[in-house]
Amino acid sequence: MLHRNTTKMNIVIVDGYTLNPGDLSWEKLKELGEVTIYDRTAPGETIERCIDAEMVLTNKVIFNAETIKALPKLKYIGVLATGYNVVDTNTAKECGIIVTNIPAYSTESVAQMVFAQILNITNRVGHYASENSTGRWANNTDFCYWDTPLTELAGKKIGIVGLGNTGSATARIANAFGMEVCAFTSKPQEAIPDYITKLPLDELFSRCDIVSLHCPLTETTKELVNAKRLATMKSTAILINTGRGPLVDEQAVADALNNGTIAAFGADVLSVEPAQPSNPLLTAQNCYLTPHIAWATYEARVRLLNICIANVKAFIDGEPQNIVNR
């Protein structure tokens, strides 16, 4: 627990460490109210810590119906992320509590991670750097060596599932690489750039060399990538998921990797986070996992904090913005 400053609103941040492990400043937020910051909050601590709060900021701490109803002073919940499934928005609305999120702060960073994954898989920079640090190149007979497939992206077909902010940014980068860009999207062809070709979902999976997931998680898209769909993909295909973990059936993906049904999987998200030791993807062949860090570049976190502060100020000024539970 840190920092207090007396003005109007009592503001509690329940899990501030992920956004700001120490390289950002809370000072502008503290100008707006009495701020209490907790690095982390366990489920059993939420009500006690927020009992006097008028405004709460949360990233992953859950505010379900029971918790919300136990906080009579609460007027505002600010989610420090784009997704807001950690809050029971219906109950919040019933209680007269406004819920806001942080839209589109990490678009470029997430698109960058998509290509970090793709380039790692196609060029294996980390692998060769590791090999060379133990003397392999220095002791090599020839001037070069390689023991993995090396793949050029130009001319390859990439399929993007969902053309929202991150999907569109990924498409733009793919086009710059000289790739043939396809997408599954509800947008009409005339509403998307000329370099993107719309495809039905199953055709996209069967025809593309790389498939990248950028759709929201809904009942319809849960386990969109399953054993049946994986079986239609090229054996050389690469699957990327920087969206939501449950978009894929993780056991089915692990089986497809181990059986050679697809060539590789790069993901920044899992169905349960942190990763469970039993997750089959942790030991699957040609599976490259990063710990949900696509959003966490310094630049994206600065944008997130600035939008968070703007959201808080807008609420205090009586003109709330980025409301998700109207």
Q: Which residues are catalytic, by number?
A: 244, 273, 292
CB atoms within 10 A of CB 279: 19
CB atoms within 10 A of CB 216: 13
DSSP 3-state of 74: coil
DSSP 3-state of 101: coil
For residue 193, whether the previous peptide bond is cis, meaning omega lies within 30 degrees of 0, is no
What is the distance of C-alpha 164 from the center of its chain?
13
CA distance 146 to 152: 15
Length reported for the chain: 326
Q: Which residues contact 262 (CB under 8 A, 6 or more apart)?
A: 230, 233, 234, 235, 237, 238, 239, 253, 256
